[in-house]
Structure 1
Amino acid sequence: MNNRILFPFLLFILSLNSCSQQDRPSQIEINGRTMGTTYDIKYVMPGQPVSYQEGIDSVLRVVNQSMSTYIDTSIISIFNKSKDTTHWHAVDLHFQIVFMESVDVYVQSSGAFDPTVMNLVNYWGFGFEDAYKNLSLKDTISVDSILKFTGLDLIDYHFNPNQELVLRKKHPNVSLDFGAIAKGYGVDVVSDYLVSRGIQNFMVEIGGEVRTMGKNVNDRVWRIGVEKPTTEFGNDDNEFQSIIELNNSALASSGNYRNYHEINGEKIGHTLNPKTGFPETNRLLSITVIADNAMRADAYATAAMVLGHEKAFELIESNPILEALLVYLGENGEIEVMMTEKMSDLIIEI
Structure 2
Amino acid sequence: MRRILLPHQIADLAPLAGSAVHRFGGLSMGTSWSVLVAAPAVPPGLQALLQRQLDSVVGEMSHWEPDSDLGRYNRAAPGSWQQLLPAFFDVLSFAMEVARLSGGAYDPCAGAIVNAWGFGPGGGHDQPGFAAPTAARVAELRAQRAGQQVLLEAGQAQAAAQRGMQDGGPRAGGGRAYQPGGVQLDLSAVAKGYGVDRLAHCLMAQGLPHFLVEVGGELRGAGMKPDGQPWWVVLEPPPVEASDAAAPGEIALALHGLSVATSGDYRRYFLRDGTRYAHTIDPRSAAPIDNGLASVTVVHPHCMAADAWSTALTVLGVQQGMALAERQGLAARFVLRGAAGGYTEHLSSPMRAMLDDDVN
User: Which interval holds the TM-score relative to the shorter structure?
Assistant: 0.7 to 0.9
Deviations 1:97-134 (A, max 9, x none): 11111111011111101001211221111111134454
Q: Aligned pair in 2 of structure 1 residues 194, 23: CA closer, same or farther (>3 Å)?
A: closer
Q: Match for 1:155 among 147, 150, 153? A: 150
Q: Aligned pair in 2 of structure 1 residues 124, 154: CA closer, same or farther (>3 Å)?
A: same
Contact 1:116 1:151 in 2 (8 A): no
Q: Match for 1:274 among 276, 283, 294? A: 283
Counterpart of 2:308 in structure 1 is 299
Counterpart of 1:180 in structure 2 is 189
1:145 maps to 2:140: yes
Counterpart of 2:347 in structure 1 is 339
Counterpart of 2:25 in structure 1 is 31
- Partner SS for 1:224: strand
* Structure 1 residue runs without a partner (length 5+): 1-21
Counterpart of 1:3 in structure 2 is none
Q: Aligned pair in 2 of structure 1 residues 297, 260: CA closer, same or farther (>3 Å)?
A: same
CA distance in 2, matches of 1:104, 1:330: 32
Q: Cα RMSD between the aligned structures?
A: 2.6
Q: Match for 2:61 among 43, 60, 67? A: 67
1:200 maps to 2:193: no
Once the 2 structures are TM-superposed, how far is the Cα of residue 300 of structure 1 from its aligned partner? 0.3
Could you say which structure has the greater relative contact order, defined with CA pairs below 8 angstroms and 6 or more residues apart? Answer: 2
Q: Aligned pair in 2 of structure 1 residues 223, 78: CA closer, same or farther (>3 Å)?
A: same
Q: Match for 1:326 among 318, 326, 334? A: 334
What is the aligned residue count? 323
Written as runs of structure 1 = structure 2, the 5 A alignment for 1:95-244 is 95-132=88-125, 133=127, 134-137=129-132, 139-150=134-145, 154-160=149-155, 163=158, 164-170=174-180, 172-230=181-239, 241-244=250-253
Once the 2 structures are TM-superposed, how far is the Cα of residue 249 of structure 1 from its aligned partner? 1.4
CA distance in 2, matches of 1:117, 1:147: 9
CA distance in 2, matches of 1:239, 1:311: 21
Q: Aligned pair in 2 of structure 1 residues 179, 240: CA closer, same or farther (>3 Å)?
A: farther
Deviations 1:133-178 (A, max 9, x none): 54545711112222233259521221245643111122x2111000
Deviations 1:63-114 (A, max 9, x none): 11100112221110001012x2232100011111111111110111111010
Written as runs of structure 1 = structure 2, the 5 A alignment for 1:11-90 is 24-47=18-41, 52-82=46-76, 84-90=77-83
Q: Aligned pair in 2 of structure 1 residues 244, 46: CA closer, same or farther (>3 Å)?
A: same
CA distance in 1, matches of 2:215, 2:248: 20
Which range moved further: 43-52 or 64-73?
43-52
Q: Aligned pair in 2 of structure 1 residues 152, 250: CA closer, same or farther (>3 Å)?
A: farther
Q: Match for 1:313 among 322, 328, 333? A: 322
TM-score, reference length from structure 2: 0.82
Give the residue type in structure 2 aligned to 1:117.
A
